[in-house]
């Protein structure tokens, strides 16, 4: 009996180490970070999403600083995922269909460099996949405008304040009101068609 209990304890202790080995990160910017969490959270294999700031020059930026456009950051979502369940390429497909790749310093009603669209890669393999995905999209896109989404090394990612995390779950009415009034779904349908 002691042997079985000991083996069971060793297996349980190994689970976090195995989980860490199978987890990867992906970072995407597509306007308000609240609106990018939900599509990724809905995917099997996504472990978590974190709203935050990437691509800037200041350590530990605040929401007020980033939204004022003085830090160089853009609002983004960092996705922790299990690549044996969901591929990075699938995450890219979800990203494209939930962003407007045709506007450089704007997403929907949010204007400024802090809302620029971007794919922030964490490895050479992610960079190559992102570039291939963008090139394929440029060939088969159904809209006339150029694709201006940047593909950049991730660098530091700073999680946003707690009240921004899972906003669509904590404040569903305000979230839906913001999303509708911002014209996000209307523009996404115009670009990509109905889901």
Cα–Cα dist 12/3, whole Å: 14
For tokens 């209990």, the residue is 5
Burial class (CB in 10 A: 0-12, 13-18, 19+), 169: exposed
Closest to 117 measured CA to CA, from 133, 101, 130: 101
Q: Which two tokens stand for residue 23?
A: 């987890």
The answer to whether the beta carbons of residues 83 and 24 sit under 8 Å apart is yes
182 catalytic? Reply is no
**Torsion on CA atoms 36, 37, 42, 45, rounded to nearest 10:** 110
Cα–Cα dist 30/49, whole Å: 14
Q: How many residues does the chain have?
A: 195
- 123 Cβ contact list (under 8 Å, min separation 6): none
**Catalytic-labelled residue, pool 32, 35, 109, 182:** 32
Residues annotated catalytic, as ranges: 32
């Amino acid at each position: 009996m002691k042997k079985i209990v000991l083996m069971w304890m060793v297996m349980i202790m190994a689970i976090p180490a195995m989980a860490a080995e199978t987890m990867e990160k992906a970072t995407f910017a597509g306007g308000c970070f609240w609106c990018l969490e939900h599509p990724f959270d809905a995917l099997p294999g996504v472990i978590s999403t974190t709203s935050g700031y990437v691509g800037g020059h200041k350590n530990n930026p605040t929401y007020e600083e980033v939204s004022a456009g003085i830090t160089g950051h853009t609002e983004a979502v960092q996705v922790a995922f299990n690549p044996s369940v969901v591929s990075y390429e699938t995450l890219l497909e979800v990203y494209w269909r939930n962003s407007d790749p045709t506007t450089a310093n704007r997403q929907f009603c949010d204007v400024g460099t802090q809302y620029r669209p971007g794919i922030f890669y964490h490895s050479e393999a992610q960079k190559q996949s992102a570039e291939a995905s963008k090139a394929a999209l440029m060939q088969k896109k159904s809209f006339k405008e150029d694709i201006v989404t940047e593909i950049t090394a991730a660098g530091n990612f700073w999680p946003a304040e707690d009240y921004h995390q899972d906003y669509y779950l904590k404040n569903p009415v305000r979230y839906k009101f913001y999303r509708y009034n911002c014209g996000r779904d209307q523009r996404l349908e115009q670009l990509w068609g109905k889901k």
